[in-house]
Amino acid sequence: ETGVTQSPTHLIKTRGQQVTLRCSSQSGHNTVSWYQQALGQGPQFIFQYYREEENGRGNFPPRFSGLQFPNYSSELNVNALELDDSALYLCASSYTGLVKGETQYFGPGTRLLVL
């Protein structure tokens, strides 16, 4: 059984640019959630995808968007990058996304630095 994988591991961008982060869910899981973790803070929920549709969204602006593919992998896209977007971006997968309190398993994250 493979765990959650993310790419790239690190990324440096400049303000105003766009970035795409990728996530492959754990084997057997069809739901992916994305979180932003600023330094010294807990993860903050961005959104969740279940069967290629957004299944919930946190308090993030529309320039944060996502996709989920038929193989349940997912992308997080951020447009018009701002300095405050510098953070660790975590992807978490879960089995169905439809069961409250379902366990979410995190990937290693992508560390984004915006200059």
Asked if residues 22 and 66 have their Cβ atoms less than 8 Å apart, the reply is no
Pick between residue 16 and residue 56 the one whose CB is nearest to another protein.
Answer: 56
Shortest reach from residue 26's CB to another protein, in Å:
11
Residue 20, sorted as left (phi over 0), alpha (psi -120 to 50) or beta, turns out to be beta
What is the number of other CB atoms lying within 10 angstroms of the CB of residue 19? 18
Give the separation between CA 18 and CA 3, rounded to whole angstroms: 27
Nearest residue (CB) to another protein, 13 versus 111: 111
Whole-angstrom Cα distance, residue 115 to residue 101?
37
Contacting residues toward another protein, per CB under 8 A: 4, 33, 35, 40-45, 48, 55-56, 58, 90, 97-98, 100-109
| Of 80 and 99, CB closest to another protein | 99
